[in-house]
């Protein structure tokens, strides 16, 4: 519906972060934008709803010294083509990412996801689509909204999603000031450059339609029931100032999974990895070293 409004990597993405590592790949009936860099074990990184590969811009160069980073734009987001409505579910996203990895002939050793991206990774692992040795969720959106929000929010998202004028309205209103306000409401503070990347994304009706569609079709209840079957270690990193996902959800999830560890980061919000990338990098490296039973090299 919004294909002609889709962002073009060649036109809109010429100065996109880490553009030199971008490539276009066809997989699962979609044209994907994916960034690949580095050498070593494969580290898959999935952004959350409404974001893109830009969210990892400060993490990827340093992590690429230790890993082969694979970071795609999720279906419909950024510079990746639009999927069917059914593929905007958590299971649909997981299958789409699996199809991309098969075409790339890459198998993730580690997987890091932010917000809804973490849910996609967990679902893909539960379904046996990927087999990482550990999952790392940064402010993972892993549980349904609590109370009345659990049915009000998805219902509103569905009503907005079916209205073809809504994404265009969102796009027209995506001013720097408006986007900055939305980001502040997540408990995070970004610099002007970080805000501008989100503004550029939200100026695309196609990107807005995918974000709305993802929220409208998101149902985490089945995954919540399957948490006890997750044998892969799950590491939850939570910004204590997160206003988008309740930080206390971490304890609920840790009580459901067989192998889980939690890390609380004071002073950081939902976009903790963009606010303090070095702290997140250090945690990812620590988790990996602990899995291998090795100590960090001497300074």
Average confidence (pLDDT) over 35-45: 98
Q: What is the pLDDT of residue 162?
A: 43
pLDDT tens, 197-255? Answer: 999 998 888 898 888 888 878 888 888 899 999 999 999 999 999 999 999 999 999 99
Q: Which residues pair with 220 in a beta bridge?
A: none
Q: What is the pLDDT of residue 284?
A: 98
Q: Which residue has the higher pLDDT, 218 or 92?
A: 92
Q: What is the pLDDT of residue 87?
A: 80
Q: Which residues pair with 44 in a beta bridge?
A: 70, 111
How crowded is the C-beta side of 82, counted as CA atoms within 13 Å?
20
Look up residue 258 and give its two tokens.
């067989």
Q: What is the pLDDT of residue 26?
A: 97
- Cβ-based neighbour number of residue 105 at 10 Å: 6
Global pTM reads: 0.91
Q: What is the pLDDT of residue 84?
A: 78
Q: What is the pLDDT of residue 128?
A: 97
What are the DSSP calls for 222-288, one per residue? HHHHHGGG--S-EEEEEETT-SSS-TTHHHHHHTTSSSEEEEEETT--TTHHHH-HHHHHHHHHHHH
Q: What is the pLDDT of residue 6?
A: 80
Q: What is the pLDDT of residue 4?
A: 59
Q: Distance between CA 36 and CA 219 in Å, rounded?
A: 30
pLDDT tens, 146-167? Answer: 543 444 444 444 444 444 445 5
Return the CATH number of 3-292, one of 1.10.10.10, 3.40.50.300, 3.30.750.24, 3.40.50.1820: 3.40.50.1820
Residue spans per domain, the chain: 3-292
Q: What is the mean pLDDT of the chain?
A: 88
Q: What is the pLDDT of residue 226?
A: 93
Q: Which residue has the higher pLDDT, 298 or 266?
A: 266
Tell how far CA 143 is from the center of its chain: 15
Look up residue 30 and give its two tokens.
């979609």
**Cα→Cα distances 229→16, 138, 226, 259, 278, Å:** 39, 21, 5, 10, 32
pLDDT tens, 167-207? Answer: 545 556 667 788 888 899 999 999 999 999 999 998 888 89
The alpha helices in the chain, defined as continuous H runs, are: 60-63, 90-104, 116-126, 149-162, 166-172, 176-184, 192-202, 205-216, 221-226, 249-254, 272-275, 277-292
């Amino acid at each position: 519906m919004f294909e002609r409004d889709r962002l073009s990597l060649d036109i809109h993405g010429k100065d996109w972060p880490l553009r030199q590592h971008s490539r276009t790949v066809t997989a699962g009936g979609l044209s994907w934008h994916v960034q690949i860099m580095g050498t070593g074990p494969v580290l898959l990184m999935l952004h959350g709803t409404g974001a893109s590969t830009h969210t990892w811009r400060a993490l990827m160069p340093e992590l690429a010294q230790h890993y082969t980073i694979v970071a795609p734009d999720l279906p419909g987001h950024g510079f990746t083509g639009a999927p069917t409505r059914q593929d905007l579910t958590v299971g649909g996203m997981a299958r789409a990412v699996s199809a991309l990895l098969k075409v790339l002939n890459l198998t993730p050793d580690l997987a890091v996801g932010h917000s809804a991206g973490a849910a996609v990774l967990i679902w893909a692992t539960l379904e046996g689509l990927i087999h990482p040795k550990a999952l790392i969720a940064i402010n993972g959106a892993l549980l349904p909204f609590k109370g009345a929000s659990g049915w009000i929010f998805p219902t509103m998202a569905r009503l907005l999603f079916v209205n073809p004028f809504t994404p265009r309205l969102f796009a027209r209103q995506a001013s720097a000031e408006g986007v900055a306000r939305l980001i502040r409401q997540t408990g995070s503070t970004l610099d002007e450059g970080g805000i501008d990347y989100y503004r550029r994304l939200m100026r695309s009706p196609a990107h807005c339609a995918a974000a709305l569609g993802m929220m409208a079709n998101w149902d985490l209840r089945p995954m919540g029931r399957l948490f006890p079957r997750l044998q892969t270690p799950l590491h939850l990193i939570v910004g204590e100032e997160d206003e988008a996902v309740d930080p206390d959800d971490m304890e609920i999830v840790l009580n459901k999974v067989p192998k889980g560890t939690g890390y609380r980061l004071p002073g950081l919000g939902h976009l903790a990895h963009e606010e303090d990338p070095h702290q997140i990098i250090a945690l990812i490296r620590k988790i990996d070293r602990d899995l291998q039973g090795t100590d960090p090299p001497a300074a």
